[in-house]
Amino acid sequence: MYVAGSESWRFTWVDDLAVDVALYLRDALALSIDDDLPAVDPPVPVSVPEGVDRAAVQREWPGWWTDVLAFVAARGERDPRKRRALTPVPTERAALMHAVEVFTEPAAKHLRGHRMNHLPRGANVGPVVRELEASFGRKARPFTMTVTEVSVAGLVWQRLADNHVLVSARFARDTDALDVALRGLLGELV
């Protein structure tokens, strides 16, 4: 995790097990989901364990995915209960809750070591904010931004909300593309 900020702004770069589990589950169960994200990288073997209702998970996954993304973005609020919980508890989604229990450990093992777990070298948020402040002739407006790194194939930079971006690990390693994207994002926020 990387956190930068001041009294008026906060920028957090995270990877998150909740997001990993959701995407791993999507790929392991071969769910037909239109989420605009490529497959997990490294690829996940398709497997439907006994007791997992794939059809029910397929129905429940899209709403849960939306909840997971909002949950992860809200972790930046420093609510200790949110940091301890793996995902928003899908209590009204029984099939999904069971699948999360089944796939959490395999997802964590599968993706271990495939992330940087920190803001990539060259992505100096603080200096860029100061540079933009000087350019605009004023202090940065208050903002909070969470960038969540995901282990998916391909180059992904997806703005989900005013305060949340998904970025693929491959995109994060492309220093030039990342610099352009971060400067554009920070230019909008500052």
- Is 89 domain-assigned? yes
**What was the pLDDT predicted at 177?**
92
Of 4, 37, 16, 23, which Cα lies nearest the Cα of 182?
A: 4
- Is 177 domain-assigned? yes
**What was the pLDDT predicted at 78?**
53
Same domain, 22 and 70: yes
In this structure, are residues 24 and 111 in contact, taking their beta carbons and an 8 Å threshold? yes
How many Å apart are CA 152 and CA 168, to the nearest integer? Answer: 6
Same domain, 106 and 129: no
Same domain, 49 and 97: yes
Of 89, 114, 83, 110, which Cα lies nearest the Cα of 101?
A: 89
Which of 69, 87, 111 is a domain's end point?
111
Parallel, antiparallel, or unpaired for β 143-150 and 164-168?
A: parallel
65: left (phi over 0), alpha (psi -120 to 50) or beta: alpha
- Is 10 domain-assigned? no
Same domain, 49 and 92: yes
Same domain, 51 and 90: yes
Same domain, 44 and 101: yes
For residue 145, give its domain range.
Answer: 125-189
- Is 119 domain-assigned? no
Same domain, 184 and 104: no
**What was the pLDDT predicted at 73?**
84
Q: Which helix (H) or strand (E) holds 21?
A: helix 17-28
Same domain, 60 and 137: no
**What was the pLDDT predicted at 32?**
94
Which of 77, 111, 145 is a domain's end point?
111
DSSP state of 169: H
Same domain, 59 and 105: yes
- Is 118 domain-assigned? no
**What was the pLDDT predicted at 117?**
52
- Is 120 domain-assigned? no
Average pLDDT, 10 consecutive residues per value, the chain (190 residues): 73 87 96 92 94 96 91 67 58 88 91 63 79 94 91 94 92 90 95
- Is 28 domain-assigned? yes
- Is 1 domain-assigned? no
Which of 79, 111, 143 is a domain's end point?
111
How many domains in the chain? Answer: 2
What's the burial of 178, exposed, middle or buried (CB within 10 Å: 0-12/13-18/19+)?
Answer: buried
What's the burial of 26, exposed, middle or buried (CB within 10 Å: 0-12/13-18/19+)?
Answer: buried
Token couple for 101: 């229990």
Same domain, 72 and 142: no
